[in-house]
Amino acid sequence: MKRRSLIGSVLMLFPAVVRAQDFDGFVRQAAERNAIPPAWVRAVITAESGGDRGAISGVGAMGLMQLMPDTWRVLRHDLNLGADPFDPHDNIVAGTAYLRWLHDRYGDAGFLAAYNAGPARY
State the average pLDDT over residues 37-44. 95
Q: How many angstroms separate the first and last alpha carbons of the chain?
A: 50
| Class of 3-117 in CATH | mainly alpha
3-class DSSP state of 62: strand
88/24 Cα distance (integer angstroms): 10
3-class DSSP state of 67: strand
Do the beta carbons of residue 72 and residue 61 sit within 8 Å? no
State the average pLDDT over residues 58-69. 97
State the average pLDDT over residues 63-86. 98
- The domain segmentation of the chain, as residue ranges, is 3-117
- Catalytic (active-site) positions: 48
Question: For a pLDDT cut of 70, what percent of the chain falls above it?
Answer: 80
Q: What is the pTM of this model?
A: 0.81
State the average pLDDT over residues 13-41. 83
